[in-house]
């Protein structure tokens, strides 16, 4: 069986950098980007190794600001 | 149309139904309980809703919700209960919602008594709740006028999107008089396209609200409210006057007190005195201009109220120091007699007829 | 490719004013999703409270009515009695529902009003800056309980779900939380079931959601979730307190 593959899209400028998505990602691919400050003045959540995303939507479940869209392949 | 004999409190209910009001939220308190009792009997028959709330606070907030949903709705209470309703009244004034609120006044302060009084004039006309707002305050003197003002009151409320208060007292609530139900003058009433009815997917959400966190927005909202109040002042003043061009003394009185004053005036006229009367029907907007028509030779204005002097402030504003202003009042549920008023007028008059 | 999660139409595009990590946002989303998925968004009328969620009227994509502090159930009663065909809900915090509005919530349940209430219990007054709530835990510090809540002085925290479940007119009472994706999914299920109860005309329903207030608790968003699990859940047990009976 092929491994589930997913993709998450963050609306970075709406992120408040709370990190709740970071803590629930089973593949640990989300981090807060300390090198960037978004339009709201926060370090936004980003994903670097997108190929490891399994599309589980845990991050979206916990995001209080509904900034995440989740796709699955 | 044929006249029917009705008790004031029940006539209010009948008039409200006549005006198309099908919803009533209230809480029992003497001396107005015949009104919610009447509504409890009658509204279910026409597919309306009477609901006895857990408190006056809840009742007025139910009215707030119902008015926001775009229907004609009423509540009633008596003085201490009306004090509790002030929160919701202020919110409705802020959110610009139409409704009719009836206060059948009793004596205060505190729990006071259950007999008639006019001690809530300040509360009604100066705003018992927080913020810079106005209610249209209507003060009927007899049961027929009570019926007329209830019916017109719903139109005024809808026209201006503003709460209207009917300020009566225990006497008018309890007395029985013949009444007929007449069509009010036709008004061009706006669509209630602001009401919360569910979007049905056809429009953007409607929001009923009195919160404006940005000071410039709240100021703008207040300026808009004040413009509305100015329009009401220009168009809605109601007053009845008698012999003010000729009276040596002019009495100012409203509601049931004005009827006692009329009896006193008849008695004085039989004795050769010339006495005028100004009877404000709208307590807000107040008929200040009517006082400008009083003759220059008038010796003084006597304000008669069933309290310790509240409307007298408006009378003083109205006469701008041109005439001395006197007061006669009974309170605590005591009702002034014509003889007491006659005696006071003679004192002001000073003798020579 | 399939989209497995996207923003619900039940919410507007207005960005919320909530602090980072505040779980109000999660619950707003669940309410919006429930309204959309149950097909009642177009006929929904929501009543917003006074408290942190005071601006909820800008966030839910349906008709909204802002109430005075604690009076949302009375306002909702007025709306529902006038428009029984509409879907009417209140969204209230613990100061609003469990303190100043106790009479209103008890009597809306007692009358069995056919409305639904979402109750956010975060054991603190958030909007006014961290004062003690009726739901503040014993020993929990608040700006008006600087040494921590003292039972002898302020009593024990009030358990609204347990209280409301004793009232006949309350047909659905459940306490949930949103501290993990699993709990979030369970919370959504409860909210949908509660809403269905109204759609079926069965009476009053309430879902209490144990929530966090990182700002006033003085914890990070992640620490707040753990604090809630360790301190609030033992005192406020999760679960269903009431479901409609067969003959309801």
Q: pLDDT tens digits, residue range B158-203?
A: 999 999 999 999 899 999 999 999 988 899 999 999 999 999 999 9
Length of chain A: 73
Q: What is the pLDDT of residues B77-91, one digit of tens each?
A: 999 999 999 999 999
Contact residues, chain A, for C221 at CB < 8 Å:
18-20
- For residue C238, tell me if it sits in a domain: yes
Strand-pair category, B282-284 with B239-242: unpaired
> Which pLDDT score, from 0 to 100, does residue C246 have?
80
Claim to verify: residue B91 and residue B207 sit in the same structural domain = yes
Structure letter (DSSP) for residue B136: E
Q: State residue B99 phi and psi, 5-degree precision.
A: -170, 165
Domain that residue C134 falls in: 24-242
Strand order in B249-252's β-sheet? B239-242, B275-280, B249-252, B300-305, B325-329
- For residue C11, tell me if it sits in a domain: no
Structure letter (DSSP) for residue B162: -
Contact residues, chain B, for C103 at CB < 8 Å:
54-55, 57-58
Claim to verify: residue B207 and residue B333 sit in the same structural domain = no
Q: What is the CATH number of the domain that holds C49?
A: 3.40.50.970
Distances (CA, A) of A41 to A17, B147, C16, C127, C166: 9, 61, 15, 21, 47
**Residue ranges of E strands in B92-145:** 99-105, 136-138
Q: What is the CATH number of the domain that holds B340?
A: 3.40.50.920
Portion of chain B with pLDDT greater than 70, in percent: 99
- For residue C5, tell me if it sits in a domain: no
Using CA of residue C97, residue C103, residue C106, residue C107, what is the dihedral sign?
negative
> Which pLDDT score, from 0 to 100, does residue B352 have?
67
Region of residue C160 (left: phi > 0; alpha: psi -120 to 50; beta: else): alpha
- For residue C195, tell me if it sits in a domain: yes
Q: What is the pLDDT of residues C9-62, one digit of tens each?
A: 999 999 999 999 999 999 999 999 999 999 999 999 999 999 999 999 999 999
Distances (CA, A) of C227 to C42, C122, C220, C242: 38, 11, 10, 27
CB B91 within 8 A of CB B131: no
Claim to verify: residue B184 and residue B224 sit in the same structural domain = yes
Whole-angstrom Cα distance, residue C82 to residue C93? Answer: 25
User: What's the pLDDT band for B8 if we cut at 50, 70, 90?
Assistant: very high
Strand-pair category, B99-105 with B73-77: parallel
Report the DSSP beta bridge partners of residue B162: none
Q: What is the mean pLDDT of residues B122-137?
A: 96
**Residue ranges of E strands in B78-224:** 99-105, 136-138, 163-169, 176-179, 207-208
Chain centroid, CA C30 distance in Å: 11
The pair of three-digit structure tokens given for residue C94, joined into one six-digit string: 């613990």
Q: Does A24 touch chain C (CB under 8 A)?
A: yes
Q: Which residues contact C166 (CB under 8 A, 6 or more apart)?
A: none
Split into its structural domains, chain C has a count of 1
The three-point CA angle B67-B70-B73 to 5° equals: 40
Nearest CA among C72, C44, C49, C71 for reference residue C60: C44
Q: What is the pLDDT of residues B290-325, one digit of tens each?
A: 999 999 999 999 999 999 999 999 999 999 999 999
Strand-pair category, B249-252 with B300-305: parallel
The pair of three-digit structure tokens given for residue B298, joined into one six-digit string: 């008038």
Chain C interface, best mutation among A45, A62, A67, by max C CB count within 10 A: A62
Distance from CA of B230 to the nearest CA of C (A): 27
Structure letter (DSSP) for residue B93: H
C206: enclosing H helix or E strand: strand C204-210
Is the bond leading into B212 cis (omega within 30 degrees of zero)? no
Give this prediction's pTM. 0.97
Strand-pair category, A68-72 with C2-5: antiparallel
Q: What is the pLDDT of residues C144-190, one digit of tens each?
A: 999 999 999 999 999 999 999 999 999 999 999 999 999 999 999 99
Claim to verify: residue B158 and residue B97 sit in the same structural domain = yes
Q: What is the mean pLDDT of residues C214-239?
A: 98
Domains and CATH numbers, chain A: 6-72 (3.30.70.20)
Chains in touch with B (≥3 Cβ pairs < 8 A): C
Structure letter (DSSP) for residue B290: G
CB C178 within 8 A of CB C209: yes
Claim to verify: residue B96 and residue B211 sit in the same structural domain = yes
The pair of three-digit structure tokens given for residue C231, joined into one six-digit string: 């301190």
Chain A interface, best mutation among C20, C122, C178, by max A CB count within 10 A: C20
The torsion angle over the Cα atoms of residues C229, C235, C240 and C245, rounded to 10 degrees, is 180
- For residue C55, tell me if it sits in a domain: yes
Contact residues, chain B, for C167 at CB < 8 Å:
none
Claim to verify: residue B223 and residue B164 sit in the same structural domain = yes
> Which pLDDT score, from 0 to 100, does residue C217 have?
98
> Which pLDDT score, from 0 to 100, does residue A4 have?
76
Instruction: Locate all alpha helices (DSSP H) within C125-174, ordered by sequence.
Output: 151-154, 160-165
Q: Is the pLDDT of residue C81 over 60?
A: yes
Q: Is the pLDDT of residue B353 over 80?
A: no
C173: enclosing H helix or E strand: strand C170-177
The pair of three-digit structure tokens given for residue C218, joined into one six-digit string: 């003085």
Q: What is the mean pLDDT of residues C112-116?
A: 98
Claim to verify: residue B155 and residue B266 sit in the same structural domain = no
**Residue ranges of E strands in chain B:** 4-7, 23-26, 49-52, 73-77, 99-105, 136-138, 163-169, 176-179, 207-208, 239-242, 249-252, 275-280, 282-284, 300-305, 325-329
Matching residue, tokens 């007190």: B257
Among residues B217, B235, B253, the one where a domain terminates is: B235
Report the DSSP beta bridge partners of residue B236: none
Distances (CA, A) of B220 to B212, B214, B216, B225, B273: 10, 10, 6, 9, 52
Q: Does C225 touch chain A (CB under 8 A)?
A: yes
Claim to verify: residue B231 and residue B247 sit in the same structural domain = no
Q: What is the mean pLDDT of residues B102-108?
A: 96
> Which pLDDT score, from 0 to 100, does residue A2 have?
59
Q: Which residues contact B134 (CB under 8 A, 6 or more apart)?
A: B93, B127, B162, B229, B232, B284
Domain that residue B271 falls in: 239-349
Claim to verify: residue B124 and residue B15 sit in the same structural domain = yes
CB C214 within 8 A of CB C220: yes
Q: Does A72 touch chain C (CB under 8 A)?
A: yes
Whole-angstrom Cα distance, residue B140 to residue B280? Answer: 9
Contact residues, chain C, for A70 at CB < 8 Å:
3-6
Distances (CA, A) of C148 to C59, C152, C218, C239: 34, 12, 14, 28
Length of chain B: 353
A72: enclosing H helix or E strand: strand A68-72
Among residues B214, B235, B256, the one where a domain terminates is: B235
Matching residue, tokens 């209830």: B150
Nearest CA among C106, C135, C24 for reference residue A66: C24
For chain B, the average pLDDT equals: 97
User: What's the pLDDT band for C1 if we cut at 50, 70, 90?
Assistant: confident
Among residues B200, B235, B270, the one where a domain terminates is: B235
CB B134 within 8 A of CB B229: yes
Across the interface, do C86 and B49 touch by the CB < 8 Å criterion? no
> Which pLDDT score, from 0 to 100, does residue B1 have?
67
Portion of chain C with pLDDT greater than 70, in percent: 100
Length of chain C: 248
> Which pLDDT score, from 0 to 100, does residue B184 have?
87
Q: Is the pLDDT of residue B263 over 60?
A: yes
Distances (CA, A) of B22 to B44, B206, B283, C130: 9, 23, 27, 44
CB C196 within 8 A of CB C106: no
Interaxial angle between packed helices B8-18 and B34-42, expressed in degrees from 0 to 180 and rounded to the nearest 10:
40
**Residue ranges of E strands in B40-181:** 49-52, 73-77, 99-105, 136-138, 163-169, 176-179
Split into its structural domains, chain B has a count of 2
The pair of three-digit structure tokens given for residue B58, joined into one six-digit string: 């809840």
Claim to verify: residue B175 and residue B214 sit in the same structural domain = yes
Whole-angstrom Cα distance, residue B84 to residue B277? Answer: 34
Claim to verify: residue B209 and residue B343 sit in the same structural domain = no
Across the interface, do A73 and C180 touch by the CB < 8 Å criterion? no
Partner residue opposite A20 with nearest CB, options C1, C11, C21: C21
Contact residues, chain C, for B67 at CB < 8 Å:
78
Whole-angstrom Cα distance, residue B74 to residue B7? Answer: 18
Q: What is the CATH number of the domain that holds B97?
A: 3.40.50.970
Q: What is the pLDDT of residues A19-50, one digit of tens each?
A: 999 999 999 999 999 999 999 999 999 998 99
Contact residues, chain B, for C82 at CB < 8 Å:
23, 49, 65-66, 69, 71, 73
């Amino acid at each position: 069986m092929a491994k589930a593959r997913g993709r998450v899209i963050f609306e970075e400028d709406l992120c408040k950098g709370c990190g709740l998505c970071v803590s629930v990602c089973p593949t640990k691919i989300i981090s807060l980007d300390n090198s960037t400050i978004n339009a709201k003045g926060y370090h936004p959540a980003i994903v670097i190794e997108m190929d490891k995303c399994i599309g589980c939507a845990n991050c979206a479940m916990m995001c209080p600001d509904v900034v995440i869209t989740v796709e699955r392949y | 149309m044929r006249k029917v004999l009705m008790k004031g409190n029940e006539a209010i209910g009948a008039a409200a139904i006549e005006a198309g009001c099908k919803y009533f939220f209230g809480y029992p308190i003497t001396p107005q309980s015949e009104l919610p009792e009447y509504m409890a009997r009658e509204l279910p028959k026409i597919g309306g809703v009477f609901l006895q709330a857990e408190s006056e606070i809840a009742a007025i907030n139910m009215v707030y919700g119902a008015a926001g949903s775009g229907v004609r709705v009423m509540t009633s209470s008596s003085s201490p209960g009306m004090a509790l309703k002030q929160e919701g009244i202020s919110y409705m004034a802020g959110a610009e919602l139409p409704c009719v609120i009836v206060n059948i006044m009793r004596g205060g302060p505190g729990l006071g008594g259950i007999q008639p009084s006019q001690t809530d004039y300040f509360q009604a006309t100066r705003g018992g709740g927080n913020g810079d707002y106005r209610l249209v305050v209507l003060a009927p003197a007899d049961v027929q006028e009570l019926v007329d003002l209830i019916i017109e009151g719903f139109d005024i409320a809808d026209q201006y999107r503003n709460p209207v208060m009917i300020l009566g007292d225990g006497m008018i609530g309890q007395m029985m008089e013949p009444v007929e139900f007449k069509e009010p003058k036709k008004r061009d009433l706006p669509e209630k396209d602001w009401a919360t009815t569910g979007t049905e997917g056809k429009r953007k959400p409607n929001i009923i609200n009195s919160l404006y966190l940005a000071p410039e927005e709240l100021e703008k909202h207040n300026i808009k409210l004040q413009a509305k109040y100015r329009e009401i002042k220009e168009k809605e003043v109601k007053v009845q006057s008698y012999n003010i061009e000729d009276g040596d003394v002019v009495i100012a009185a409203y509601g049931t007190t004005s009827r006692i004053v009329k009896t006193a005036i008849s008695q004085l006229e039989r004795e050769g005195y010339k006495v005028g009367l100004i009877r404000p029907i709208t307590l807000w907007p107040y008929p200040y201009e009517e006082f400008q028509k009083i003759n220059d030779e008038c010796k003084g204005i006597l304000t008669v109220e069933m309290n310790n002097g509240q409307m007298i402030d408006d009378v003083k504003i109205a006469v701008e120091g041109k005439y001395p202003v006197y007061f006669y009042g009974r309170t605590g549920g005591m009702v002034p007699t014509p003889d007491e008023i006659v005696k006071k007028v003679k004192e002001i008059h000073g003798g020579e007829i | 490719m399939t989209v497995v999660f996207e923003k619900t139409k039940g919410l507007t595009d207005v960005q919320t004013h909530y602090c980072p990590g505040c779980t109000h946002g999660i619950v707003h989303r669940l309410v919006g999703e429930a309204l959309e998925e149950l097909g009642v968004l177009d006929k929904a009328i929501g009543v917003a409270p006074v408290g942190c969620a005071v601006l909820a009227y800008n966030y839910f994509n349906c008709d909204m009515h802002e109430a005075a502090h604690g009076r949302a159930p009375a306002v909702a009663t007025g709306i529902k009695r006038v428009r029984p065909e509409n879907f009417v809900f209140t969204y209230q915090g613990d100061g609003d529902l469990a303190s100043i509005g106790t009479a209103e919530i008890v009597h809306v349940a007692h009358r069995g009003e056919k409305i639904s209430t979402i109750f956010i219990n975060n054991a603190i007054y958030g909007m006014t800056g961290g004062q003690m709530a009726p739901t503040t835990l014993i020993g929990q510090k608040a700006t008006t309980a600087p040494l921590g809540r003292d039972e002898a002085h302020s009593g024990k925290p009030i358990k609204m779900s347990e209280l409301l479940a004793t009232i006949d007119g309350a047909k659905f009472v459940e306490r949930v939380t949103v501290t993990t994706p699993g709990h979030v999914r369970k919370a959504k299920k409860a909210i949908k079931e509660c809403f269905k109860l109204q759609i079926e005309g069965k009476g009053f329903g309430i879902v209490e959601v144990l929530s966090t207030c990182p700002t006033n608790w003085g914890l990070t968003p992640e620490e707040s979730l753990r604090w809630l699990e360790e301190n609030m859940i033992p005192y406020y047990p999760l679960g269903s307190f009431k479901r409609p009976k067969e003959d309801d």
